[in-house]
Amino acid sequence: MKRFIIGATAMLLSGGCFAHAHAGMVPDDMPDAQKIRFCERVRDHALQAFYSRERGRPMKLFEEDGSHGPRVTNHIIRRIYEEPQISSPKKAEAFGRATCNEMMGTKGESE
């Protein structure tokens, strides 16, 4: 019984050691936090567009409804298909992230 109590106490206390591992997170209530998360998703679309282009698949664009999301994403997808200088997945991710941050006016850089 004594071992169980010591083991349970050790498990509870060890959780506190790892709770501070995510320092520097952007609070969700900040407007830039939404822009950073959006640009991370756009980066994923840029990578998928690169792979689709390399496999010879047609360009998939989003239906534009007047909001920023489809407009920014479609712009990045078109540029990836048009520019042969984007020749690797890393370049596609970097281009997608940089272009999105520029177009959305994000102050922070997403990693």
**Is 53 domain-assigned?**
yes
**Is 29 domain-assigned?**
yes
pLDDT of residue 5: 61
pLDDT digits (tens, 9 = 90+) for 7-18: 555 554 444 444
**Is 33 domain-assigned?**
yes
User: Greater confidence, 25 or 107?
Assistant: 107
**Is 6 domain-assigned?**
no
CA gap 104, 72 in Å, rounded: 8
Report whether 101 contacts 110 (CB < 8 A). Answer: yes
Sole residue written with tokens 């920023």? 68
pLDDT digits (tens, 9 = 90+) for 34-89: 888 888 899 999 999 999 999 999 999 999 888 888 999 999 999 999 999 999 99
Neighbours of 13 (CB within 10 A): 9
